[in-house]
A = this chain, B = another copy of it.
Amino acid sequence: MEILQVVGPMVCTHRHPGLETMPLRILQDTNGKKQVAVDTIGCKPGNWVFTISGSAARLALGKERKVILTDLTVGGIIDFWEENESKVSS
């Protein structure tokens, strides 16, 4: 599971129906590379979170007989994290 920081919400009115109205967040790693994840936990910009990818991301949102089409879901908010902790110490 990856460690990423929340940038903010992603506005996307034109989306695949399989994502329903799930809240989407833009996250970035320590190099600034951005990804999009579904958030059911309510993370805020600046929070450091870890993300669940692949088929587990989809199961994390499973409601009865419905499938939410995501490949990345926020798994939790990390209690204490400093950005430079995750930099290469080389």
Measured CB to CB, the residues of A under 8 A from B are 1-3, 10-16, 18-19, 24, 26, 31-37, 40-41, 50, 52-60, 67, 69-80, 85-90
Closest residue of B by beta carbon distance from A60: B69
Closest residue of B by beta carbon distance from A26: B3
Bound form: Cα–Cα A13–B90 in Å:
29
- CB contacts (< 8 Å) of A86 on chain B: these are 32, 34
A44 to chain B, nearest CB (A): 11
Bound form: Cα–Cα A56–B75 in Å:
18
Bound form: Cα–Cα A75–B13 in Å:
11
- CB contacts (< 8 Å) of A59 on chain B: these are 18, 58, 67, 69
